[in-house]
Structure formats: C-alpha cells, structure tokens
Amino acid sequence: MKPRLALFDLDHTLLLGDSDVLWCDFLIAEGLLDRAAFAVRNADMESRYQAGTVGVDEFAGFYVSTLAGRSPLEWEPLRRRFLHEQVVPRIPPGALDLVRQERAAGALVVLTTATNRYITELTAAHLGIDHLLATEAQQQDGLFTGGVYGPPNMRAGKVRRLQDWLAQRGSSLAGWHSIAYSDSSNDLPLLEAADEAVAVEPDPQLAAIARQRAWRVIRWNG
C-alpha cells in the first residue's frame, strides 16, 4: 500500500477568505497602502482570480509587491497581528478537524498555496501543517524587493512545484496515494494530478466539474 499524501489549498478551502486579499485590506486599514491605488486593484484581482482570467505572474506580482521595502523582521509584528486578527477567526473548526484526520491517518500533509510564503507560513503552523509550498517573495540585502522569486505556486505551477519538492525528498507523485483538497477551478491541474480530488466549498466552475466527475464535495456549513 502506498503512503498517503494530503495536499491542501488554503484560501477559500481551509480559510473562509483569501489571504492575499485580506492582507491587502489589512494594510490599507493600517494606512500602509494607499486606499485609492490598491482597493480597486485588490477587488479586481480577486474577481479575475475567481473567474480564472488573471495571469499567474500578474496575480503573484501584485500581492508580493505589498511587502516591498521592508525586511521580514520589520513586517513581523504586523504579520502576527494579521494572523490572529484576520486569519484565525476565518478558519472553520471543520478545517482544523480535517487536517487532524489526515495526520491521524498517517498522511504526509502539505499546504500548497498561491499566496506568498511570508504571509502563509504562520497560518500553516497554526493549522498544524509542517510542509508549505507557496509563492516565494524575492529578497535583496535583507529587504523584500516586491518581486517574485522563481515560478509562482499557482495553477500548473502547483504541480511542478510539488513534483520538484518530492524529487528533492527522493520521491515522486507516483510513489504516493495522493488526495488534493481545493475550492477553485484554478487548482484543476493539481486536482487532476492527484489520485483523489475533493472539492471544498467549490466555486461554480469546480462545483460543476465535481458533479460531472463524482468528486467528493465538502461544505463547512453542512
């Protein structure tokens, strides 16, 4: 029997909201981003992401740019407040239970998200997930540049990054019984690459695909 690999998307899957959008709103409320410049673009990015029409580089670059000009240490107090004020209250109890169930079943549990690592690594820790695949924010001379380092962990990039990560561990996807959890049709490449696909609070496009393919569907409100 193959070992079990559980792959969890984060935003709108284990979290009732989108980390990138919430972070942008949080910084606007703190007066660190210009409301006129960012609020409309933030809403536009979210809308086009949900529709599957936004470009991967454009999406990742826009949100990583919010970190520009500060060091990880300078951002630390704000990202911890962000976790406790904006993220933790939006994690459904059922999501925590599902992660615990996978761990209890002996699965290797991985959080795989298009949001950048700096914003999501505290969330992964709160969820009890040790392994995180995320978009990487570029740094130079100890400061975030506002650019993306390497390929964004989004759409087909999630599969490529997963394959690379497994290869570094001396393994491959074929060596596991994999199950992928996501809300979004943007994650169709990952869901199709897994042995089992589970639609969690699916968007309309993914809900239709899940019905056609008889995929399991989870809704946190029952």
pLDDT digits (tens, 9 = 90+) for 148-172: 999 999 999 999 999 999 999 999 9
Share of the chain above pLDDT 90, in %: 90
Name every residue whose Cβ is closer than 8 Å to that of residue 13 and which is 6 or more positions away in sequence.
95, 181, 182, 183, 184, 200, 201
Residue with tokens 């695909």: 209
Nearest to 161 by CA among 196, 114, 99, 128: 114
Domain boundaries, given as residue ranges, for the chain: 4-218
- Residue 5 pairs with which residues in a beta bridge? 108, 178
Strand, helix or coil for residue 148: strand
Active site residues: 9, 11
CA 20 to chain centre: 9
Return the structure tokens found at 45. 């990015």
Instruction: Report d(CA 222, CA 90) in Å as an integer.
Output: 16
**pTM of the model as a whole:** 0.96
CATH 3.65.10.10 for the 4-218 domain, yes or no: no
Task: Evaluate if residue 197 carries a pLDDT over 70.
Answer: yes
